[in-house]
Amino acid sequence: MEFLGFLARRLAWSLLVLFGLSVVIFVIARVVPGDPARMALGPRASAEQVADLQEKLGLNLPLYQQYARFVGGLARGELGQSLLTERSVNLDIRTTFPATLELVLATVFIAFLFGVPLGVAAARWKDRWPDNLVRAFAIVAAVMPTFFIALLLQVLAGYVLQILPTTGQLPTGTEFEANITGLLIVDALLTGDLNVAFEAMRHLLLPALALSLATMGQVARITRASMIDVSRQDYIEAARAFGVPDRVRLFKYQLRPAFVPPLTIMGLEFASLIGGAFVVELIFSWPGMAAYGIRAITQKDLNAIMGVVMVSGLFFVMVNLLIDVLVGFVDPRIRIRGRRA
């Protein structure tokens, strides 16, 4: 019951955030110079044609009316027509978003799979060589631009070693039509097509790795700091005094209370991951939403821009809602205090 109340409060906040986002992106998209109608029709279109399209898009209306139209569409789940692809933005996003989602989920998975153990090892052997190695890695991973990592991996694994594919989601000519969840690997597994699932994972590996390195370093650093912080707590000393073995102390007594900061960071990382995904999507020819969004921005394809931003925002808000619930599960103090508040 308390949990439902907590969820309801968080949902209300989420709606408020999304409303704010819609206003901001609406204004930004319109103050940027350039006439969408002119850009869509090209330099050789006549003034009448441009005016016609402007009227059709409602660009001649006052701003508040345009916003009302936009929000009205949003409420119906209708994002309008893309000028670039000349299809509905809904359809464009529905076809591109799952690829980005798959990429981002795999990225987060890899970042945590390696980042957390690295952080634990660094904290366990603080100021010794494992710690120095992890810290050096975290810095290098943070300062290397994603596009550089992506190209490096592509050259290394794709051309020099030739062990992994470097473009697309599947080998060209692969026949696969299932569309249950939209996530390729999941769909392939659901339909029992192990061959396609395996190929999809192989294709996913390099782009996800390229995108995950910076986050992995971040997760390792935060985990390390948090583990060291917890290791100084009295209850760790107490566990030692009562003869709880090192291994149990490290993972059960230390890692769980230390797990909240990396978890919270992950929620925030989702935003930058979607932003960073476009570089990776372009380099690896990944048919995702981030790349679609960038094309929309350069072409000032208003409906597509707003669609992509709103879907990203919704995704971000939902992920953080989920993480809030997870944090409450990991640390009962947060759950119980939230109940009292």
Q: Which residues bind another protein (CB under 8 A)?
A: 233-235, 237-245, 248, 252-253, 256-257, 330-333, 336-337
Q: In whole angstroms, how close is the CB of 260 to another protein at the nearest point? A: 9
Half-sphere exposure of 72 (CA within 13 A, CB side): 6
Q: Are 255 and 120 in contact (CB under 8 A)?
A: yes
Residue carrying the six token digits 């790349």: 291
Least separation in angstroms between residue 35's CB and another protein is: 57
CB 253 within 8 A of CB 233: no
Closest distance between another protein and the C-beta of residue 228, in Å? 15
Nearest approach in angstroms of CB 239 to another protein is: 7
Instruction: Choose between 61 and 334: whose C-beta lies nearer to another protein.
Output: 334
Query: Which of 83/263 has CB closer to another protein?
Result: 263
Query: Are 80 and 184 contacting, i.e. CB atoms less than 8 angstroms apart?
Result: no
Burial per residue of 276-309, b for 16 or more beta-carbon CB atoms within 10 angstroms, e otherwise: bbbbbbbbbebebbbbbbbbbbebbbbbbbbbbb
Q: Least distance from C-beta 319 to another protein, angstroms? A: 23
CB nearer to another protein: pick between 128 and 337: 337
Shortest spacing between CB 245 and another protein, in angstroms: 6
Q: CB of 75: closest distance to another protein in angstroms?
A: 42
Paired tokens of 122: 């660094």
CB nearer another protein, residue 47 or residue 241? 241
Q: How many angstroms separate the CA atoms of 190 and 197, rounded?
A: 9
- Smaller CB separation from another protein, 107 or 226: 226
